[in-house]
Amino acid sequence: MGIPVKITVIGAGSATFSMGLVKDLCLTENLAGSHVTFMDIDEARLERIHRLAERYITELGGKITFDRTTDLAQSLQDADFVINTAGGEYGSMEERIDLARKHGYYAGAPFGVNYYNLNLMLNVAREIERVCPNAWLIQSGNRVYEGTTLMARETNVKVIGLCHGHYGCINVANVLGIDPDKVTWVAPGVNHTIWLTEFRYEGQDAYPILDEWIATKAEAYWQERADHPEKYGLEDQMSRAVIDMYRRFGLLPIGDTTRGGGWWYKADLETRLHWYGPTGGFLSEVHIGPFLKRHYERIEEIRQVAEDASRSVLEAFPPVKTREQQVPIIDALTNDVPGTFQINRPNEGVIPGIPDDIATEFPAVIDKGGIHPIKMAPLPKKIMLEVINPMVNKAEWELEAFLTGDYDLLLDGLMMIDTFQSGGHTVSYEQAKAYLDDFLAQPYNQDMAAHFKRREPSWAGVLARKAK
Amino acid sequence: MGIPVKITVIGAGSATFSMGLVKDLCLTENLAGSHVTFMDIDEARLERIHRLAERYITELGGKITFDRTTDLAQSLQDADFVINTAGGEYGSMEERIDLARKHGYYAGAPFGVNYYNLNLMLNVAREIERVCPNAWLIQSGNRVYEGTTLMARETNVKVIGLCHGHYGCINVANVLGIDPDKVTWVAPGVNHTIWLTEFRYEGQDAYPILDEWIATKAEAYWQERADHPEKYGLEDQMSRAVIDMYRRFGLLPIGDTTRGGGWWYKADLETRLHWYGPTGGFLSEVHIGPFLKRHYERIEEIRQVAEDASRSVLEAFPPVKTREQQVPIIDALTNDVPGTFQINRPNEGVIPGIPDDIATEFPAVIDKGGIHPIKMAPLPKKIMLEVINPMVNKAEWELEAFLTGDYDLLLDGLMMIDTFQSGGHTVSYEQAKAYLDDFLAQPYNQDMAAHFKRREPSWAGVLARKAK
């Protein structure tokens, strides 16, 4: 028996995430007796997850207790761990994508839109500093990269950023037909741009297995997925784009990294279909429909279970541990059950060539003594030049925009930043300006528009800024 | 009377430059008795400059001696100072611009073409290391930024990079109607992207004079230049683009910096005419003709003086010191005549936030004790984000391409790098690939094509690179 803790879940209305957490907690003997406070601003969703969790624990016979609140400060009272999975609110993804398409862009929002998520994260971190300064903050919602960087700079909160992307390594093993449990891998970088630097199968370098697969089986694999898209997921860890990135960089990109590679993979739908497979990759015209459909179906399914007290919650959420790292990390930090985890933290020398105060993603041993990062070898120079360095500057640019409210940093960013992850690039000044202004004029964007007020040329203003 | 020195001029066939140097030497009493060796691979041009210099010294009655050679190693024998003004050879500017336009680009050559200049610079620096390791190398030909960085990293030669751009400050004063001799200015950055961080007139901040000019006189100034382009130079230190950059960044861009600002200032000729004035800025369709005409007229004029022994060389090159810094720097280092100069050297902490081993441009006091850099205040964050950081990564990218011969770094660079200085940006993969391959296929590019051999996807090759 371990030590019970108090865990606060911010944005708990996301039932898939919260129910996964409840399952993992119930199945972790060491954390029996722990208490979970669900917090969300959406009362209906909050009430639903609370009810589901209570029914789950009753059916399973576990020893976790729950309560709920819509008040952030109250939710943080006495918290040992805060898991933030909330996202900023600013219209629906459909609305944003329609607007982007109208202006000739692929991506769902212009540069700087992380304003909402960054604002929310920083507010939560500051409130933790005030209410429960010793709590660990486990950041589990986007954007982990910029957000972890920002919170670590602006507050003293102990923050860990988590993402699922690195599990793409398991998909790699499955596609290659080797047992994932016999594979050793390391995939560091910055969140959403990580690279398979170590890849062994039964202790031997497994890159030759990948090369063999590319030479003899990749074409058939891509053909099969094109012929029978209904049999496969919406995205592909082993698409042509991924293998082309491997050719360019010498290392395989993992997880969300596979969505990037350069704007030219995304020039038009035909190009996307070639590089990313039959859905054209993340947020393409073909991908977006099924992607949102799956998302809403999952929400509806959970709603139905929640509203039908006669249904078994255990059946809807079979009691098998997820692959999420939150609960094992809580166990490691609380009960000294050591483990190696893929986390995001300020780099502080872990990956050579990245500034200390930029959050990077890397493996770390975690135990009651805290976080013990495993020092990484340098990434290939080409990855630093084409991917990481521009991503570092992009984060600095975005955080400066966020902190200053400078409209020009948004507009110039939209025009100048073509990172590895970009959804397509700007053709003209007029296009960028019209898109940004139209976006800021949307009713759901009043907050952001107020923050990034357009400053017309004003020489007095210029001097005032310069004097700072 | 000071100490006479031996000066070697590489690429001495450039008569404008060499005759300026001869004049400055003849007019610097301290360096009487010095010897100049002219070196060039073009024997005709070399012989012409040698003859002109001899006639000049005879007419003027100075005490400088000259010889010439086409052999690099021989030219370096016993040199105290080596001035490298040579450029790599790869076709004519007209050919390169025609090719760029054919593929829908504005710039005269694709990313990576500095290969020729870098190669030449590195060869010269290595030969100096071998033949005259104690000599100072004064790099006076493009690209000062990447070249100084490269030579300082790869050799132990004492290198100083020089450029004229910073004299744009004098143009600023002239346009504002204030006496340049009463103006104090500091304009650091990286070569071709420098910013007026200090600007005083008679000891008082002169930015308000600029603001006043913008508010009350700028429009009339731009109109006058548009109405009477024949009365003005081909480029404009105070164009609309420059003033817009000042609005965006809070500091005035100086010299070659005024040619940049973002690809959107250069979207098409109409846009260029608006932002850069009646020639449309550097290398526009309107600028290129008069620019080359002026260049060839100057060469022809010098040729005529050289071939007509009855003409006075003193009349063609009136004995007034130029504003070039080479000879004053030589005097400072040799005869302890201290001065403050605008130089390019590895940053080593001078401008905060730029890596130590990237060459930056800054003022330094030079005397017989050597170079004493003046430490600069940080540049505004926005300039770092939008201009300097991308320029630093661009230099690293270019040097990595140069050192490895990696074709993909050229192609990806052409597609991904839209710096502040770019001439226009790539619309499609096919466009970039066709342009780069067509460029490398030109007869004048055999050297570069051999260096950047296209590597087709080869999984064995990928692994070999990865293993390095």
Which of the residues of A are catalytic? 164, 256
Task: Tell me the average pLDDT across A227-253.
Answer: 94
What is d(CA B151, CA B308) in angstroms, rounded to the nearest whole number?
40
| pLDDT computed for residue A49 by the predictor | 95
Neighbours of B263 (CB within 10 A): 22
Q: pLDDT for A17-75, tens place per residue?
A: 999 999 999 999 999 999 999 999 999 999 999 999 999 999 998 899 999 999 999 99
Do B154 and B125 touch, CB atoms closer than 8 A?
Answer: yes
Segment among A146-150, A240-244, B410-414 with least mean pLDDT: B410-414
Is pLDDT at B326 greater than 90 in this prediction? yes
Task: Tell me the average pLDDT across B363-382.
Answer: 97
| Best residue of A382, A388, A394, A409 to probe chain B, by most B CBs closer than 10 Å | A382
CB contacts of A217 in chain B (<8 Å) are: none
What is d(CA B171, CA B176) in angstroms, rounded to the nearest whole number?
8
CB contacts of B435 in chain A (<8 Å) are: none
Task: Tell me the average pLDDT across A214-239.
Answer: 95
Domain range list for chain A? 166-286
How much is the mean pLDDT over chain B? 92
| pLDDT computed for residue A61 by the predictor | 87
| pLDDT computed for residue A454 by the predictor | 66
Segment among A255-269, B134-148, B447-461 with least mean pLDDT: B447-461
In this complex, do B459 and A214 lie within 8 Å of one another by their Cβ atoms? yes
Task: Tell me the average pLDDT across B244-265.
Answer: 93
In this complex, do A385 and B409 lie within 8 Å of one another by their Cβ atoms? yes
Task: Tell me the average pLDDT across B210-225.
Answer: 96
Q: What is the CA radius of gyration of chain A?
A: 23
What is d(CA B380, CA B396) in angstroms, rounded to the nearest whole number?
22
Interface of B with A (CB under 8 A): 207-208, 211, 214-215, 244, 246-248, 250-251, 262-264, 267, 380-382, 385-386, 389-390, 393, 396-397, 400, 406, 408-409, 412, 415-416, 418, 425, 427-429, 432, 457, 459-460, 462-463, 465-466
| pLDDT computed for residue A66 by the predictor | 97
Q: Who among B208, B262, B428 is closest to A416 (CB)?
A: B262
In this complex, do A415 and B462 lie within 8 Å of one another by their Cβ atoms? no
Both tokens of B304, joined, read 């005529």
Neighbours of B335 (CB within 10 A): 18
Is pLDDT at A465 greater than 50 in this prediction? no
In this complex, do A385 and B406 lie within 8 Å of one another by their Cβ atoms? no
Instruction: Say whether the peptide bond before residue B143 is cis (omega within 30 degrees of 0).
Output: yes
Segment among A377-391, B170-184, B287-301 with least mean pLDDT: B287-301
Do B332 and B3 touch, CB atoms closer than 8 A?
Answer: no
Nearest to B387 by CA among B186, B250, B182: B250
Distance from CA of A448 to the nearest CA of B (A): 20
| pLDDT computed for residue B466 by the predictor | 46
Segment among A386-400, A453-467, B24-38, B345-359 with least mean pLDDT: A453-467
Number of H helices, E strands in chain B: 20, 15
Nearest to B81 by CA among B134, B150, B41: B134
| pLDDT computed for residue A419 by the predictor | 60
Is pLDDT at A458 greater than 70 in this prediction? no
Distance from CA of A250 to the nearest CA of B (A): 5
Which of the residues of B are catalytic? 164, 256
Q: pLDDT for A349-396, tens place per residue?
A: 999 999 999 999 999 999 999 999 999 999 999 999 999 999 999 999
In this complex, do B425 and A429 lie within 8 Å of one another by their Cβ atoms? no
In this complex, do A400 and B418 lie within 8 Å of one another by their Cβ atoms? no
Number of H helices, E strands in chain A: 20, 15
Q: pLDDT for B118-130, tens place per residue?
A: 999 999 999 999 9
| pLDDT computed for residue B91 by the predictor | 87
Q: Which residue has the higher pLDDT, A351 or A97?
A: A351
Segment among B139-148, B206-215, B419-428 with least mean pLDDT: B419-428
Q: What share of chain A is helix, strand, coil (3-state, %, to 5)?
A: 50, 15, 35
Interface of A with B (CB under 8 A): 207-208, 211, 214-215, 244, 246-248, 250-251, 262-264, 267, 380-382, 385-386, 389-390, 393, 396-397, 400, 406, 408-409, 412, 415-416, 418, 425, 427-429, 432, 457, 459-460, 462-463, 465-466
Helix (H, G, I), strand (E, B) or coil at B431: helix
Q: What is the ipTM of this complex?
A: 0.92
Q: pLDDT for B421-443, tens place per residue?
A: 555 568 788 889 999 999 999 99
What is d(CA B149, CA A133) in angstroms, rounded to the nearest whole number?
47
Is pLDDT at B461 greater than 60 in this prediction? no
Is pLDDT at A420 greater than 80 in this prediction? no
Task: Tell me the average pLDDT across B7-13.
Answer: 96
Residue B292 φ/ψ, nearest 5 degrees: -70, -35
CB contacts of B425 in chain A (<8 Å) are: 425
Nearest to A194 by CA among A161, A223, A222: A161
Q: pLDDT for B88-103, tens place per residue?
A: 888 888 888 889 889 9
In this complex, do A247 and B415 lie within 8 Å of one another by their Cβ atoms? no
Nearest to A346 by CA among A219, A165, A156: A156
Task: Tell me the average pLDDT across B261-265.
Answer: 87
| pLDDT computed for residue B284 by the predictor | 86
Is pLDDT at B273 greater than 60 in this prediction? yes
Is pLDDT at A457 greater than 70 in this prediction? no
Segment among B268-282, B355-369, B407-421 with least mean pLDDT: B407-421
Neighbours of A53 (CB within 10 A): 27
Task: Tell me the average pLDDT across A70-83.
Answer: 98
Q: Who among A382, A400, A408 is closest to B409 (CB)?
A: A382
In this complex, do B412 and A248 lie within 8 Å of one another by their Cβ atoms? yes
Q: What share of chain B is helix, strand, coil (3-state, %, to 5)?
A: 50, 15, 35
In this complex, do A250 and B208 lie within 8 Å of one another by their Cβ atoms? no
Position A264 confidence tier, pLDDT thresholds 50, 70, 90: confident
In Å, how far are B30, B82, B188, B321, B347 from B332, measured between CA atoms? 10, 15, 21, 16, 21
What is d(CA B30, CA A22) in angstroms, rounded to the nearest whole number?
85
CB burial string B44-63: b at 16+ within 10 A, e below: ebbbbbbbbbebbbeebebe
What is d(CA B381, CA A458) in angstroms, rounded to the nearest whole number?
19
Distance from CA of B219 to the nearest CA of A (A): 14
Segment among A166-170, A208-212, B205-209, B424-428 with least mean pLDDT: B424-428
Q: Which residue has the higher pLDDT, A465 or B222?
A: B222
Helix (H, G, I), strand (E, B) or coil at A343: strand
| pLDDT computed for residue A322 by the predictor | 94
DSSP A376: P
CB contacts < 8 A, A to B, total 106
In this complex, do A465 and B250 lie within 8 Å of one another by their Cβ atoms? yes
